[in-house]
Structure 1
């Protein structure tokens, strides 16, 4: 196997109770661990204590850790995670548990842990980590873990600054010589001008503050459509109003290659209206959009099941062919990262007539009241409704678009 200088350094020197690699995405942090994990497990075979792997969820552990281990070492040495949340790894029974909620790890509460591997540690519930501290109670107990940086007040960053028996490496994307030059340049371009450049490229623990979409706020004209868009199909996102917020629809187009995303049309209405009026407005909006573009799907705020059914009934009554579904409602910050990357790589455009969505992107702010996590400001002074509608319209295609 080929290793970078940083990876060799970890292999030779990471012998503390806590061994952590923090830093940029795609910097080689996790790849090293596909060889570290079997080394650690074999070193404690037959000794008292449990072997545990913790991650955001059991599903992410299967994708991020188990399947790559299987590809390198084979199914005989690395089994899938079974229904009882255990797997056989290199001759040892291993507990594979989600750490996003404290109740996920109650089954190992009170047990001694001889080895623990931690994936995506910053996504864990802090009580899980605090429990883990008291469970690594053998003289030979060790922890290996990786994370991408968050804000400087994050609980895990504070631990990394403590006087614990800790071996810490910090990575930038340039610490991985096995990435292609083209990939690195593209990723730097996609995160340029955002908080995510500092974190995912430079590997820095920096606060999210001020404008979220800095590039859009500083040079809005750059993203305004200059000519008629060439889109292959379009979707509609719907955010329902309430408690002073607005009803918002967003019609978003996608090019044939799925490389570019274009906000084509919008609807915004803040005053209180009846469900019947909302249904009529939606029907009118869908008919207008379908007259210009190939629109077959709409994605709505999943919290409002009654209103969603009303839209379906209204469209069916008018004979309008459109599939109306509940939005996936990914984490807001996943949606933020998606649009930041699109904007940085000039893959997002918006019609000049979509004035509410333009203003929403221009004025979106990080909430300064939250010091331990990133949160988009939603205090009634910013137009979150248009952003939600816009994001719902692209959620089903975000993964495919980012893979191009």
Structure 2
């Protein structure tokens, strides 16, 4: 550890200490080093570690600590809500919704470590601050940037007493109302240990909003076209290569709104292709279909699809809009294999699709008219952005939702297709 990362560890002496900025910029390792020292030398009393979910906390932080200190010094107790580090028992918790605040009510804490802080509801963050009541208690956190109107940016970071900026300058606030918070801002290039090919590939795979936030570390508004890296000249094809695996179908369920299914395969050229689209719009057809009729339609669509002289495909997975429980039940009763709830993490899913377009490992066959019409018009909701919320405008988004369901639900199966290295995409 060197440069800005080392300097941040030396400056992390405030009540609140937050590492924010680009992915793979050294934030996590630096914050973990400070946290491990705090576990050994901080005030006595209960400690807490928090993530968006307990699962992501284990993957992002606890597993890293285990690699650093060894399994004997870091023992994760699955199901018990605890991890033992250096012999000290630490509570662990997920904070992905408003109900999470109930997990920490009544606690008296001597310290806390928070991963992915911007994903927490404000009520949870505020409650956690009140729980740090042991004398000398500190909190340490990491996050990627969000919109400039996010509560963490406006109410905490902008009022920090100490700020180690992107350019390496250190600024101390003269405002007497400044918070006892130290803010450390990072860009991707702050990490000198990353291979140049990896950095180049990471930059190329992030476009628009995600480039600004995850590469440059900027707190910027989500505005304009969501998939601004989509280029019809580059990403639309008339011919498909040999498909070595029919990976999945992503289904966005609709009765009054359109019902959409997108068939996605992996080609012999190690790229993904949206090969075919099933779409029923009851507003155009003037006829609503039942779950049973949709099931027949999807099965007939897959059975009749022809590719290079072969008729019929059997995708490994059929990922369905998780709100469509009755339709999934219908598919199961009809004996359709591989049916599962789609991962409906909207922003993470958008990032996965954006990464695939940015890395040029995703193309769409010209016959898929619905998704090709929706992609250029799929935009961020400007009014929501003004409130600090990143969400798409809910207009004509049925095919793009189906694309997101398919791509994000299988991200672990195609991450290796990304150029140069297994780049960071939402898991």
Report Cα offsets for 1:72-104 as digits up to 9, x if no partner: 112332211353312222232211111223544
**281-290 or 157-166: which moved more?**
281-290
TM-score calculated relative to the size of structure 1: 0.89
The answer as to whether partners of 1:233 and 1:295 remain within 8 angstroms in 2 is no
**277-286 or 182-191: which moved more?**
277-286
Q: Match of 2:254? A: 241
The answer as to whether partners of 1:53 and 1:117 remain within 8 angstroms in 2 is yes
For residues 71-110 of structure 1, the aligned pairs below 5 Å read 71-110=67-106
**101-110 or 363-372: which moved more?**
101-110
Q: Could you tell me which of 268, 275, 296 is aligned with 1:264?
A: 275
Structure-2 separation of matches of 1:164 and 1:403: 43
- Relative to structure 1, the CA distance from residue 293 to residue 213 in structure 2 (aligned partners, 3 Å threshold; closer, same or farther) is farther
Equivalent position SS for 1:233: strand
Structure-2 separation of matches of 1:395 and 1:39: 37
How far off its partner does 1:145 sit? 0.8
Report Cα offsets for 1:262-285 as digits up to 9, x if no partner: 111112221133325434422331
- Relative to structure 1, the CA distance from residue 79 to residue 311 in structure 2 (aligned partners, 3 Å threshold; closer, same or farther) is closer
Structure-2 separation of matches of 1:212 and 1:116: 35
The answer as to whether partners of 2:235 and 2:364 remain within 8 angstroms in 1 is yes
Moved over 6 A (4+): none
Report Cα offsets for 1:174-215 as digits up to 9, x if no partner: 0000111001000100013x2000000000000101100112
The answer as to whether partners of 1:20 and 1:144 remain within 8 angstroms in 2 is yes
Aligned-pair RMSD on alpha carbons?
Answer: 2.1
For residues 202-241 of structure 1, the aligned pairs below 5 Å read 202-216=216-230, 219-234=231-246, 235-241=248-254
- Relative to structure 1, the CA distance from residue 323 to residue 136 in structure 2 (aligned partners, 3 Å threshold; closer, same or farther) is same
Matched, 1:63 2:59: yes
Report Cα offsets for 1:328-357 as digits up to 9, x if no partner: 223021221111111112111111111111
Structure-2 separation of matches of 1:266 and 1:21: 43
Structure 2 alignment gaps of length 5 or more: 160-177, 418-427
Q: Match of 2:108? A: 112
- Relative to structure 1, the CA distance from residue 340 to residue 108 in structure 2 (aligned partners, 3 Å threshold; closer, same or farther) is closer
Q: Match of 2:191? A: 176
Q: Match of 1:372? A: 388
Structure 1 alignment gaps of length 5 or more: 317-321
How far off its partner does 1:106 sit? 3.3
Matched, 1:197 2:211: yes
For residues 28-43 of structure 1, the aligned pairs below 5 Å read 28-43=26-41
For residues 5-404 of structure 1, the aligned pairs below 5 Å read 5-44=3-42, 47=44, 49-158=45-154, 159-162=156-159, 163-192=178-207, 194-216=208-230, 219-234=231-246, 235-242=248-255, 244-256=256-268, 259-271=270-282, 272-275=287-290, 276-289=292-305, 291-292=310-311, 294-297=313-316, 298-311=318-331, 323-370=337-384, 371-378=387-394, 381-382=395-396, 384-404=397-417
**93-102 or 276-285: which moved more?**
276-285
Equivalent position SS for 1:207: coil
The answer as to whether partners of 2:321 and 2:344 remain within 8 angstroms in 1 is no
Aligned residues: 386
How far off its partner does 1:142 sit? 1.0
The answer as to whether partners of 2:104 and 2:128 remain within 8 angstroms in 1 is no
Equivalent position SS for 1:323: coil
TM-score calculated relative to the size of structure 2: 0.84
Equivalent position SS for 1:369: helix
- Relative to structure 1, the CA distance from residue 306 to residue 134 in structure 2 (aligned partners, 3 Å threshold; closer, same or farther) is closer
Q: Match of 2:173? A: none
Equivalent position SS for 2:243: coil
Structure-1 separation of matches of 2:78 and 2:264: 41
